[in-house]
Copies of this chain bind each other. A is one copy, B any other.
Amino acid sequence: MPDETRAVPRLTLVLGGARSGKSAHAEWLVSAQAGPWLYVATAQGWDDEMRERIALHRARRPPPWETVDAPRDLAGAIRRAPPGRPVLVDCLTLWLTNAMLDEEADLAAEVADLLAACAAAPGPLVLVSNEVGFGIVPENALARRFRDEAGRLHQRLATLADRVVLVVAGLPMTIKGETQ
């Protein structure tokens, strides 16, 4: 591995609001490394709106991007990534949604397993997630639980991460680690 890659953060968490440009920023971070790059997609095509969003995301990633779908076994997909391959996970929010909607899932165990996979990953690994906690308390109980789980997951990942970035209007604010 060449010397200049030593400074590349092993684990980066990219947070942002809806349509903040967080995915594009994360792709930029990953594609600054030597390819090929692995894109781990967590979206599930539940409805037309979601399928349209997936299609838009895929259109942005021609080779040397390689795509794997991991709507449920995200920890496994991270563990199966070839060592040294830059990995982009887009996004944790959808994975968490899928896990919470799976009534047979043990969410706490799955979160712990995901954290273990991220902690063990050789990197560079870039995780994208939606920051969803800056609005009024949702009236819907599931939505309240979702933002609690998302917030706790982000805190735990931020502890593991070498770099945490908050994207606003396409612009990255580095809140942990060195500014790129």
Contacts and interface: CB of A to CB of B under 8 A. Distances in A.
A104 interface: no
Interface residues on A, range: 35 or more
Interface of A: 13, 15-21, 49, 131-140, 143-144, 146-148, 150-152, 154-155, 157-159, 164, 166, 168-171, 173, 175-176
Contact of A19 (B133, B171, B175): B133
Contacts of A136: 132, 135, 138, 140, 143, 146-147
Nearest to A173: B175
18 contacts: A15-B168, A16-B133, A19-B133, A19-B148, A19-B151, A19-B152, A19-B155, A135-B136, A136-B138, A136-B146, A136-B147, A154-B170, A159-B170, A164-B168, A164-B171, A166-B168, A168-B175, A173-B175
